[in-house]
Chain A
């Protein structure tokens, strides 16, 4: 019993495709010729880099205020100054620095919410898909219940009950956004479960935990990555909405949603205050979505470009 059932399909593939290429090399080649993937990866990569290197790249302390230098317009304005490339906010804090530090918060919330909800959703989905029957019925019921809850409303209610803070936002979003993970992994698991190598593993007497972890999960990973990127973007947008309503991240933390909220009073006459974080949010979410789309295309068996 030393045959690894999972390697069976790839062994067949090698026979079918004479020029031997590893799956990673194929994916890389596909990725490099996929425009959306490249743009998405570029945006996300850039934002991640700036977030990680924030103390190095930010020109000023994002919290240092100087009320005598407030609402300086960005550099492309006639009144802009080189010292503050994106201008300053209502308390004279450097807008570019706040934007850079704000990306840390957006990414932190996106990643942690996706991780928490991914863990919850995948566990439920895999269990339901693998065992079926009663387990499936219970999980489906829980998913339906969760789908019946309006996310924004529940998040708002929770945040106003407990009080808004970074931790609360991460937890609330993490515990609310797992439904898509559950639905997708459940369907994918059902498909994979019917495959021969799973039957072989069962026949070989592997424990269910091992089958789930080593046979099922690696084979539904592509779908999971796509959902994770979607939910990450979703969480970032929701954080912005909560912060905009004053129930998310609290000042003086530089969250993009909060910056949009703080720019609202200046919408009529100093529109850049609200536009800059708005555009940043748009670009990041677009980037994550493009990246997720690209990953799906690249890893899809039919090899779309």
Chain B
């Protein structure tokens, strides 16, 4: 928003003029409020992204921006080393499996929340028991519904009871399950908490301006010995700038220091700017087309016919999209998961290579020789969705694009109002297939296929402690999903980061920028 930069300049550069009584400038400044200056000189790292989490409570949104805040503001019981994948003690100093459905954890002493409350086992038990209640209305139930209950067993210990054996438990405890402050949360409620969130993490949230920004400062009393270490940069600010071009313009004019999801074309060009660093990396995010198999959006939906779904799968040249549109380390996926997740495999899974002739033949066989009209919803990377529409058009399928915000997209999909949904999923950065395929095909709200065979296989895989059996069950499920073409996996997404050349920043494949580990170059 260039106006804001302008106003900022008026404020710093022409203070005299302002005193002279520039009422209009004064009004503008009132809207700006406070020193919003980014950069090394102010020890403020301003990062911008397109979407705002509907609720800042980490359990009440499923947006990547929310995950980023969660990782920088809250701590989890266990930490997962992004390099080695090893689980390291975080808020829990030790853990032991009593049996496959009982996990004992020792809670660290000397950790305090941002509001001064000490961390106790009660906080852990409260967090997990609260999010399991239906009244909590958390967004991604799959992240926690493997737990049955959590009890405090001593001054520094808790015990988690599982519903069934769940081998990926530690993976979940080191990602989407941050610990909330029980006393504070009870006092302010969810609404109050989302306006003034409190955690134990390396950054502390100081102000939340809905639709605009979230301001954070370094937690100077962060507990020593944390595997992720204390933050280096003093102030962190999350700015919501929905428009990609405005984000880029802000970066180039120094209004923000860090942006991501820069389209490959622009990333290429930004490399020419010596004041910026551009980084391209593959992420765990995988895009896929989800089909309205049950015909909920349209009773006579052509998508109910497996041949039509297969035709769509053959019609799209995913390889060309990866090579020309996504680039930067993206890979074509053939199973609905990220290939490096535990249990994700393409072995024996039917694949659909680009073959428009075959697509047309299948459509004809299904009785749609003249094609049909259908709606396609998407919420990000509009270019990819338009390319898919172009490919469908080439075989006679006339798709109309419905481009929505994520919350609207998700709700329409859950309500069965979407024929083809262009989904993407980053698995909450959990390195286990249950966090991807499980969410969309185990009979949950976003499962458009609800195939009992797939559900049974996924449940068997999720609850078995035998890794070989798990892999076999997942392979079976993924094979069936692909054979029935319930969904068409597209490709893994690269993320192009562009940030100030003053900033030392490393990207991880799990798509969680760790700003606490960033620093200014000397």
Q: Which residues of A contact B (CB under 8 A)?
A: 63-65, 67-68, 70-71, 90-93, 163, 165, 246, 250-252, 264-270
B residues less than 8 Å from A64 (CB atoms): 394
Inter-chain contact A63/B390, CB cutoff 8 Å: yes
Cβ contact of A264, chosen from B245, B324, B390, B402, cutoff 8 A? B245
The tally of CB-CB contacts under 8 A between chains A and B is: 59
Q: Which of A63, A71, A251 has the most chain B CB within a 10 Å cutoff?
A: A251
Asked if B391 is an interface residue, CB under 8 A from chain A, the answer is: yes
CA–CA, A30 and B401, complex, Å: 50
Within the complex, what minimum Cβ distance (angstroms) separates A188 from chain B?
43
Q: A residues within 8 A CB of B370? A: none
Binds A, one of B185-193, B233-241, B262-270: B262-270
Q: Contact mask B288-329 → A, CB, 8 Å, 1/0? A: 000000000000000000000000000001001101110000
Q: Give chain B residues whose Cβ lies under 8 Å from the Cβ of A71.
A: 265
Q: In the complex, what distance in Å separates the CA atom of A269 from the CA atom of B267?
A: 11
- Smallest CB-CB A-B distances: 7 pairs: A65-B390, A269-B269, A67-B324, A67-B320, A251-B401, A251-B386, A68-B324
B372 shortest CB reach to chain A, Å: 16
Q: How far is the CB of A268 from chain B (nearest CB, A)?
A: 7
User: What are 29 inter-chain pairs, A to B, with CB distance below 8 A?
Assistant: A63-B390, A65-B387, A65-B390, A65-B391, A67-B317, A67-B321, A67-B324, A67-B325, A68-B320, A68-B323, A68-B324, A71-B265, A90-B265, A91-B383, A91-B390, A251-B389, A251-B401, A252-B390, A252-B393, A252-B401, A264-B245, A265-B263, A265-B265, A266-B266, A267-B245, A268-B245, A268-B248, A268-B266, A269-B265
Tell me whether B244 is interfacial, beta carbon within 8 Å. Answer: yes
Looking at chain A's contact residues, is the secondary structure mostly helix, strand, loop, or mixed?
loop
Chain B contacts of A91 at CB under 8 A? 383, 386-387, 390
Closest to B398 in A: A252
Contact check, A246 vs B263: say whether CB atoms are below 8 A apart.
no
Which of A71, A252, A266 counts the most chain B CB atoms within 10 A?
A252
How far, in angstroms, from A265 to B383 measured CA to CA in the complex? Answer: 11
A251 / chain B contacts, CB cutoff of 8 Å? 386, 389, 401
B contact residues, range: 20 to 34
Question: Smallest distance from the beta carbon of A79 to chain B beta carbons, Å?
Answer: 14
B356-405 CB contacts (< 8 Å) to partner A = 383, 386-387, 389-391, 393-394, 400-403
Shortest Cβ distance from residue B263 to the other chain A in the assembled complex, whole angstroms = 6
B315 to chain A, nearest CB (A): 12
Residues in A neighbouring B321, C-beta threshold 8 A: 67
- B387→A265 contact, CB < 8 A: no
Given A90-B383, A252-B386, A267-B245, residue A63 in contact with residue B323 (CB < 8 A): no
**A91 CA / B320 CA spacing, docked (Å):** 11
Chain B positions near chain A (C-beta within 8 angstroms)? 244-245, 248, 263, 265-266, 269, 317, 320-321, 323-325, 383, 386-387, 389-391, 393-394, 400-403
Distance to closest chain B CB from A100 (angstroms): 18
Question: Within 8 Å CB of B402, what residues of A?
Answer: 163
Nearest CB in chain B: distance from A267 CB, A: 7
B269 touches A63 (CB 8 A): no
Q: Which residues of B contact A268 (CB under 8 A)?
A: 245, 248, 266, 269
Contact B245 A265 (CB under 8 A): yes
Q: Considering residues B269, B324, B325, B383, which has the most beta carbons from chain A within 10 angstroms of its beta carbon?
A: B324
What residues of A have a CB within 8 angstroms of the CB of B244 in the complex?
Answer: 265
Assuming the contacts A67-B321, A67-B324, A68-B320, asked whether A266 and B391 have C-beta atoms less than 8 A apart, the reply is no
A268 to B248, CA, bound (A): 10
> Are B389 and A265 within 8 A (Cβ)?
no
